[in-house]
Structure formats: structure tokens, C-alpha cells
Amino acid sequence: MRTVAARSGALDTSDTPQGPLASRSLLDLIGNTPLVEIRKARDGVAPGVRLYAKLEGFNPGGSVKDRPAKKMIEAGIAAGALVRGKTILDSTSGNTGIGLAMVGAALGFPVKLVMPENVSTERKRVVAAFGAEMVFSDPMEGSDGAIRLCRQILAEDPERYFKPDQYNNAANPLAHYEGTGPEIWRQTDGRVTHLVAGIGTSGTIMGTGRFLKEQNPAIQVIAAEPEDSFHGLEGLKHMASSIVPGIYHERELDQKLGIATDDAYAMVYRLGREEGLLVGQSCGAAHLAALTIARTLTAGTIVVIFPDFGDRYLSTNLWLGWQKLP
């Protein structure tokens, strides 16, 4: 930091820079997201149970999906599968697409994304701001429809594209095994007893849970999913009625809980009003699952993954028609 010399008025440039040094790359800012304790939206939870949310919206692209986006692209470059002249292509319900678009822009690769047409307007605009091309699939087919259309596009011109394939790429859970899991272990000083997360690609819960169980096999890993196939929980999969990701291994879960859309929405509103956390619907679902587990305990430390913030859902059914309570 430069200061003005008291006598001469000349600039003194000898001071050591204060505060954190600037990052050389946007990619260095991905990860190391904070935990915050949930203190009010915890009805019926014993005082001896600590409940923490990991706020993945603090990633530069605004979600947990920045982590696998970075890892999958880096792995593609290292393997020689992604080279100059190729376009990054993948299907997404939104957040991974934003992560891929951001990382692609930072590294100078064009990006093409297949998304259900009904993903939020905010997500579409963010993807466009990063310069990525968008192709829209049938909104009634959800993420599975995007997967099928993406496969078709790739088959028509396979030499043109590098497809990270987030649903089957081992680099997806590896990003969380190397990042999210160790962060939670450090942030809780090894006291974490339960991990709760929603399942979409399943990379977050697979990789994070795998690392935490290696540190302490007694840690419980609990997944939240929509309670049925027709739901409004954007980004989450009802596994029994979906194309199951290759990286998903249900045997690694200790429990899986179905969450109703309306209940998840109601929890989103509570988290905003009571905790000051504006989050998305998948966060509401994950928190409900965490509360279900927490109410069965007398002591423990539960960490629930909040994948993003809620500003990218303000034009969706989550908020449309909602009226503020008196």
C-alpha cells in the first residue's frame, strides 16, 4: 500500500502490501466457501445439535458447480481431450452451465450448453453474459431431456466438441473429494457428524461424503431428493424416475429423504426472513432433510450444503405469486 511521506510529500512505496494478495486467476477463487450456523430455522432441534450451512453461493460463478466445472475442464486439458479449436459441450439444468461458461471464458474456450427451456431467466442471462451458446430442450423432459439432446448434438459432430459429461465424469466428485470435503473437515475441526446435500448429478454428495467417511467412518451421509418425479426443485433429481448418473452410488449413502416442493419453498422463505439467507429451492430441500435428521439427535454437528443463492430464481415459480405475510 502506498503512503504519503510526512516531510517530503513523496510517495513511499516501501510498505509491505496489507491484506490478502490478489489472485492471479479467477479459477483460484473457486472453493474455500464459508460455513454459517443456522440459529433460528431449527424448530424442534436439541440445543446440543449444531447445524451449519456451507454457502456455495460465494463461489465466483455463484454456485457449488464452479468446483466440478473447473476440475473437469482442467482434466480435459491435461488428458489432451480439450485443445484449441474445440468447443466445450454439456447438458445442464443451469448451475454447471454457468460454471462451464465462466471457466471456458477465463481460459478462452467457446462453450455450448443444452438446457431445459424452463430454466430461470436469470440463469440464461448469466450464461449469455459469459458468451456461451445455448440450446434449449423440451421443458417437460427436465434434465433428462437435455442429456438426450446433448448426446444427439455430440453424435452429429464428435470431433468438434469436448463433452465434460458431468453425470459420468469422475472429476466431478473428485472436485469435492479434494475441496469441499477437506474444507468441511477443517472448518468443523473434525467435529462434523452428518453431511446433508441434495442430489442432481450427485457429484457433491459422493465426493464430499467419500472424503469425510475416510476421516471418520461414523459420519452419516444423507441425500435430499424430490419426493416424486413431478416437482419444482430445479437442479435436483428424483433418482427412481431419472437417468441415473454414472457417478452416483447409492450404497455410499446412509439415508435418502424425499422432500415436497411446497415444503422446500416454504423453507426458502423462512431462511430469508429468519436467517437473512436468500437461497434457492434446492437449499430449502436440503435444509428440511437436515432438520429431519437433527430432530432425532441430542448432540452432533450437521453440515448441509447450500448450493447457491436465491437471486437467480427470482423470476421462477419459487417467487412468482408469492405474497409477503403480514
Q: How many CB atoms lie within 10 A of CB 300?
A: 19
**pLDDT tens sequence across 233-255:** 777 778 877 888 999 999 999 99
Averaged pLDDT for residues 252-272: 94
pLDDT score, position 201:
87
Is 65 designated active site? yes
**N-terminal to C-terminal alpha carbon distance within the chain:** 50
Looking at 93, 120, 202, 282, which residue is catalytic? 282
Is 86 designated active site? no
Looking at 54, 65, 70, 112, which residue is catalytic? 65
pLDDT of residue 6 exceeding 50? no
Q: What are the distances in angstroms from CA 81 to CA 113, 162, 210, 235?
A: 18, 7, 27, 27
pLDDT score, position 326:
35
Q: Which residue has the cell 439444468?
A: 93
Q: Which residue has the cell 430464481?
A: 313
Q: CATH: 3.40.50.1100, 3.30.1380.20, 2.160.10.10, 1.10.357.10. Which one for 66-162?
A: 3.40.50.1100
Could you tell me what percent of the chain has a pLDDT over 90?
A: 71
CA distance 98 to 101: 5
CA distance 105 to 311: 22
**pLDDT tens sequence across 84-133:** 999 999 988 789 999 999 999 999 999 999 998 988 888 899 999 999 99
**pLDDT tens sequence across 157-206:** 999 999 999 889 999 999 999 999 999 999 999 999 999 999 988 999 99
Exposed/middle/buried for residue 98 (C-beta within 10 Å: 0-12, 13-18, 19+): buried
Check if 29-62+180-313 and 66-162 are the same fold: yes
Averaged pLDDT for residues 46-51: 98
Secondary structure (H, E, C), the chain: CCEECCCCCCEECCCCCCCCCCCCCHHHHCCCCCEEECCCCCCCCCCCEEEEEEEHHHCCCCECCHHHHHHHHHHHHHCCCCCCCCEEEEECCCHHHHHHHHHHHHHCCCEEEEEECCCCHHHHHHHHHCCCEEEEECHHHHHHHHHHHHHHHHHHCHHHEECCCCCCCCHHHHHHHHHHHHHHHHHCCCCCCEEEEECCCCHHHHHHHHHHHHHCCCCEEEEEEECCCCCCCCCCCCHHHCCCCCCCCHHHCCEEEEECHHHHHHHHHHHHHHHCCCECHHHHHHHHHHHHHHCCCCCEEEEEEECEEHHHHCCCCCCCCCCCCC
Closest to 58 (Cα-Cα) out of 320, 307, 316, 232: 307
Amino acid sitting at position 121: T
Residues 6+ apart with CB under 8 A from 42: 51, 291, 294
**pLDDT tens sequence across 276-311:** 999 988 999 999 999 999 999 999 999 999 999 998
138 or 24, greater pLDDT: 138
Class of 29-62+180-313 per CATH? Answer: alpha beta
CA distance 73 to 108: 12
Q: How does residue 20 score in pLDDT terms, banded at 50, 70 and 90? A: low
pLDDT of residue 229 exceeding 90? no
Domain spans of the chain, in order of start: 29-62+180-313, 66-162
Contact 53, 277 (CB under 8 A): yes
